[in-house]
Amino acid sequence: MPDPAAPPTSPVQLSALLARRDLGLRQVAGPAAGEGGGAGVHWVHTSEMADPYPYLLGGELLLTAGVQLAEDPDRYAARIVAAGGAALGFGLAPVYDTVPEALAAACDRHGLPLLEVPTRTPFTAVARAVWGLMAEARHHELRRVSQAQQGLAAAAARPDPVPAVLRQLATRLGGRAVLLAADGTALQAAGREPEPGAREARAALAALARVVRPGAPGGSPAGHRSAPASATDTAGAAHLAAYAVAGGEGLVLGVTTPAREPGDHTIAGVAVVLLSLLTAPRQGADEAARSAALVRLLLGAAPADVAPLLGAGPWTVVHAHGTGTPPALGSPLVDASADTVRILLPADREIARHPGWTLGVSAPAELRDLPAADAQAGRALRHAEATRTPLSRHSTTGLAALLDPAEAAAHARALLAPLGDPPPAALLETLRTWLALHGSWDRTAVALNIHRNTVRQRIGRCAALLGSDLDDMDVRTELWFALGRG
């Protein structure tokens, strides 16, 4: 029979249950608590079936009054053990005045702890005591894990964080903690090795480390399934565990303890996270280059001078509005300090919709043209919000791409000159948005977050200053072209 799946609670040891004087339980057969035969109790089940096997999941303290026991006590005990039962509790009433000798002999033969339940103790009291002890054990485990987390976090803040974390982990688990390199060499270690059997434990731990280290001999071959994040084993009386340290280029955390206690895995997991952060490369080449570019800009360098440090262009600017985690789109160049998130990323990077966010994307631009691309992304975002689309892109295709940029810019400046020198930004943005939204007053108001009457007033002022009929499609087309080039 496969090992039963244990519930996510700490088991209750029989010794703790026997120590409850209010229950009056007495063990009359089977291995005593602590001798290896008495497994922890995960739950309590009462049954008077002649064969309880089909109704057991494993880990139960089975309670019975022996109503159908007379047929074959040996088979009865054997079937409980085969089902993974932890122990048998025999009630002295109403069928038997004493525990049958045949049943006690059978439990001795099969290694099943047998408890005598006195007449004064109802089975429900036993079940209630198990649940109470289980809750106490769970509370103890949570408190132990919480204290260990605090200790490990404090150790990680020390000047020597890696050895400090290992020392703290070894102390909390009552064993030895070692950080192994990719070749199996012990880089740092803390705590005491098990005696006797230290050499055997070291060899077994090295073999276990290969299981969680991808590509190592005996582990998962490169290109095949990924290695497990952790593995456990035993060597003599020692319990072993190995954990892959994610940030450390094949590093493995090995733990050797005299016993495996509830909460050990969680505590070791906290140490793994801290060691992953502490052993990860402090700064990759790309991050170093970006930091250098920022420093040079702050010290007065021109953007064109630092462009090579950021990588080859062209670039794309993205503006985003939304809730939740801002979309990074795979780029570390993100400004999320304002209401609008702005992202700079290589132009060849694919930009997809992001749930909960509205995106405006600029046309590809060289470094010197990034301010213009930033404005394009802003307009594209407003257009996306006004049209209720999750993503809008600025486009440079069409007839405008066929014209000389300098001549087009000169024409745009001349056409828009009546609006002012320079034209008021509010008028330009209102006119541009209104034209982009096909003259819709309401959608323009939504896009600019202003009242629709304000939109009407600004468009009316533009029409008056330009001396043009903005209902004329030819006029709108020329203005749209000029706004895109000016």
Domains and CATH numbers, the chain: 14-135 (3.40.1390.20), 158-279 (3.30.450.30), 313-393 (no CATH), 399-485 (1.10.10.2840)
DSSP bridge partners of 128: none
Count helices and strands (H / E) in the chain: 15, 15
Dist. CA 32–CA 27, nearest whole Å: 8
Can you give the length of the chain in residues? 486
Q: Write out the chain's pLDDT in tens, 486 residues.
A: 334 455 556 788 888 889 999 999 999 999 876 544 456 888 899 999 988 888 888 889 999 999 888 778 999 999 999 998 999 999 998 889 999 999 999 999 999 999 999 999 999 999 999 999 888 888 888 888 899 989 999 988 888 888 899 999 999 999 999 998 877 788 888 988 777 778 888 888 888 888 887 654 444 443 344 568 888 888 888 888 999 887 656 789 999 998 888 788 889 989 998 888 888 765 555 666 777 777 777 777 777 777 777 766 788 899 998 877 777 777 778 887 778 888 888 888 888 888 788 999 998 888 778 888 888 888 888 888 877 888 888 865 555 554 556 666 777 788 888 888 788 888 888 888 888 888 889 888 888 888 989 999 998 988 888 888 888 888 888 887 777 665
Dist. CA 37–CA 32, nearest whole Å: 7
Cα-Cα-Cα-Cα torsion 272, 276, 278, 280, nearest 10 degrees, comes to 170
Alpha helices in 19-114 (DSSP H): 73-82, 101-110
Packed helices 473-485 and 425-436: angle between N→C axes, nearest 10 degrees: 120
Give SS3 for 175: coil
Supply the pLDDT for residue 285: 55
Contact 352, 386 (CB under 8 A): no
Q: DSSP state, 2? A: P
Supply the pLDDT for residue 35: 46
Supply the pLDDT for residue 40: 83
The whole-model pTM stands at 0.49
